[in-house]
Structure 1
Amino acid sequence: MASCPVAESEIEEEIKMGSYGGKVRVLRHDEESAAEETMLLWGMQQPTFSKPNSFVSHSSLQLNLDACGHCLSILQSPSSLGTPGVTGSVMWDSGVVLGKFLEHAVDSGLLLLHGKKVIELGSGCGLVGCIAALLGAEVTLTDLPDRLRLLKKNIETNLRHGNVRGSAVVKELVWGDDPDQDLIDPFPDYVLGSDVVYSEGAVVDLLDTLVQLCGAQTTIFLAGELRNDAVLEYFFDAAMKEFIVGRVEQTQWHPDYCSPRVAMYVLVKKRIGEILSD
């Protein structure tokens, strides 16, 4: 499925975007849209009144999760959680939600990952990339250099059996730096990220990397914890300059893995004419 153009009359309609077969609600492209979307999320989902973690425990050394007919055991490093700047040492609900969403979307016929090139940003403990590989994707899981040891351990532990439909490799990627040629030649079919919007500085580098990684046929899925409304509004405002952004309603998530503290979005790169007209 090719990404479709978004006309002014369709801005508030639910449409299909990129290679995702479900309909998403596209954010309007105007100066108030970022603020309105942020206010809507907080008013509709009321994350501050919800349980912080429904599917993970940061005090546990591992997370066990059934996915794609496998029992995944994702190792965590709770002792690293208090280290400044370390965000990928434990799992967050958004990663579980995104991983199970991918499985559900494939099972529902709304998404095809088999044989597709997938890049995961900020892979952390590696759950989402593992699930994508089990669904048949050729996955590159990326993170900062000091996060790769735990990531590699989880990939080796969970994908060493012979019935994995896809593949997974681990690679260093610092947001904002030029990506290695093999990441963008060819461009990936999908880019995945969970809990990657956490500070304004990170948003700038994240979007720079997304712009470099994504071609006209690349579909991005981002899931994130609703923690800081100002940072999220900043992300929406910046992202809509380069991407069309659509919210995936929770009715399309895996029915057993929904959370009012998580939001999920699909992004596709704008065409040159759409960027110039903004």
Structure 2
Amino acid sequence: MMAPPQESWNGELLGYVVTWQEAGGAAGRNTSAALTAPGWGAAHAQLAALRAHTHYSVAVRAFNAVGAGPPSTPLTATTLEGAPEASPERVRCEPLSAQSIRVWWEPPPPALRGGVLLGYEVLYETVDELESQVETRRSGGMETILQALQRAANYSIAVRARTAAGTGPASEPVYCVTHEDIPGAPMDIKAAANSEDTVIVSWLAPLQKNGKIKHYTIYSRPQRTGQHSQMMVLHKDEEDEYQVEVRGLQEHQVYEFWVTAATASGEGEMSAIVARKPNARGKLI
């Protein structure tokens, strides 16, 4: 600030009043303020608590014991950019497949963007795992598709906006579950002779269930033939170990056995194949 000519003081100059307001501020919102810089020799004042990336109109008036004089010609100045002060709005999601989710949103309110929005960051992680890791995907628009996700998994998804000055707060999370898929192969299949015409087949649930297991199918066939028989066993919740007795086999004939699991999406991968004769009693192999 530069002091007015002394002949215009009309008495002892006591200081200055600095007033400012947002240029084009929204109606009904308090966008103006003032501060006093005491002393006729005051040359500057710092305006605080301003909005980032906002145009302000600033004027100065000198005052003496009688009152304040006329304001100076207003100057317009713009604050630097800052990080967004608000999160994106109306974040939504929908599963597209067993490994992909579509996410879309709307930008933060204009007055709270902090500057020019350069894009967004989508933060996502699985909900059901004890030690899940937050993944980040950047998007230049207001929609993205998350890919290579876990099958039949519940995901927590949030979005935050970013400017050149940094990222803003994340939105409240939304949740989406990827679609089920066919399961992986049952594990650790074994077969043991139980009598001259029965074999006990045992196995463990798939490591990759990819949804809710509905049932298992046990296949058997004489070795080196293409014809097979099958039987079904329902899945039991909280149970991962299974065994079933395959009956009606021919004594001294070597049989091959394998197992598949199924979800609502269909039958999954087959297990390893094991072979056993009905009359060859012994431990599981």
Question: Is the TM-score greater than 0.5?
Answer: no
Q: Which has the higher strand share?
A: 2
Query: Relative contact order (C-alpha < 8 Å, sep 6+): which is higher?
Result: 1
Give the TM bin, normalised by the shorter chain: under 0.3
Q: Which has the higher helix share?
A: 1
* TM-score with structure 2 setting the length: 0.19
Bigger-Rg structure (1/2): 2
